[in-house]
Amino acid sequence: MTVRIWSGLMALVALGYSGSSSQTPEQLFQQGNMQYQQGNLAAAKDLYEKILASGYVSGDLYYNLGNTFYRAGDIPRAILTYERALRLMPQDEDLRHNLQLANLSIADRIEPTPRLFFWDSWDGLKSAFSLRGATWAMYIPYLMMLGSLTVVMLARRYRVKRIALVASVACAAGFLFLLVVFIARVNDSSRTDDAIVMAAIATVKNSPDVKSSDAFVLHGGVKVRILDSVSDWLSIRLADGKVGWIEKSAVEVI
């Protein structure tokens, strides 16, 4: 597994960097890559996490951090980090491949319940756009719509006005469609109801009580959907439809 190098395409997004560190995020990132390539996984991990702690996030940063966890044998945390990277760059094939490899190391084999073709197609469409890509894609039909409306107002010939009006309606429809995709991508990237089981073994209960009967057992790395929260317990659902209650300390939200 190779690391990603710093480039203009990486586009780290500052969320609140204080600038107190004597080293820039770019320098820390390069040092982390160097440590990773030399096999110093713990040092690389510390440097990548230092960037995250300073308020910067990016898909490539999570990707590299996930690789350090995977090579160190920490599969649950590797999956967690890969999943966070996937929200920022869902179309990345190398990332999806690494995540698939990590999931193959999980002890549990959970078969997802079949879904309607429409929802699979919708998810595929959304994954074709990164959050940044969806943002820029909206500008094209928006600007074309403005241009067409300008022609409608300024053109003197009726035929030209009609063609421009039809074009403006088509561009407006394209803009609205991409706006829906953008909103969906924002919701996907900010959702807090998906989590990864971090405990080596976690017993899922039938009710939020340690004395409740056992529903089933999960192992580290399994992805769950959070349905509800009661005190120190979370109601979860697996991809195969099973539901139960698990202790909050056993999982970490993506």
Q: Residue 208 — very low, low, confident or very high, per pLDDT cuts 50/70/90? A: very high
**Mean pLDDT comparison of 19-23, 68-72, 106-110, 185-189, highest-scoring range:** 68-72
pLDDT of residue 119: 77
Q: What is the mean pLDDT of the chain?
A: 89
Q: Is residue 149 pLDDT above 80, yes or no?
A: yes
Angle (CA) 221-222-225 rounded to 5° is: 130
pLDDT of residue 8: 38
Beta pairing partners, 41: none
- Angle, helices 41-53 vs 59-72, to 10°: value is 150
Which segment of 15-19, 62-66, 117-121, 227-231 scores lowest on mean pLDDT? 15-19
**241 dihedral zone (left: phi>0; alpha: psi -120 to 50; beta):** left
Q: Stretch 225-243: mean pLDDT, rounded?
A: 95
Give me 135's structure tokens: 């943002």
Cα gap 80→68, rounded to integer Å? 12
pLDDT of residue 21: 55
215-220, long-range: CB within 8 Å, 24+ apart, which pairs? 215/242, 215/243, 215/244, 215/245, 216/242, 216/244, 218/108, 218/246, 219/106, 219/107, 219/108, 220/75, 220/76, 220/106
pLDDT of residue 9: 36
Q: Provide the pairing of β-strand 56-57 with 223-230.
A: unpaired
pLDDT tens, position by position, 54-101? 888 889 999 999 999 999 999 999 999 999 999 988 888 999 999 999
Q: Is residue 141 pLDDT above 80, yes or no?
A: yes
pLDDT of residue 62: 95
Q: Stretch 129-142: mean pLDDT, rounded?
A: 85
pLDDT of residue 15: 46
Q: Is residue 192 pLDDT above 70, yes or no?
A: yes
pLDDT of residue 12: 46
pLDDT tens, position by position, 4-48? 665 433 444 444 445 555 788 889 999 999 999 999 999 999 999
Domain 13-104: which CATH number of 1.25.40.10, 1.10.3080.10, 2.40.50.100, 3.30.420.40:
1.25.40.10
Residue 2 Cα distances to 106, 128, 182, angstroms: 22, 23, 30
Contacts of 171 (CB under 8 A, 6+ apart): 141, 142, 144, 145, 148
Residue 92 Cα distances to 83, 95, 96, 193, 227, angstroms: 12, 5, 6, 23, 29
Q: Stretch 227-231: mean pLDDT, rounded?
A: 95
Q: Stretch 178-187: mean pLDDT, rounded?
A: 88
The CATH architecture that domain 194-253 belongs to is Roll (2.30)
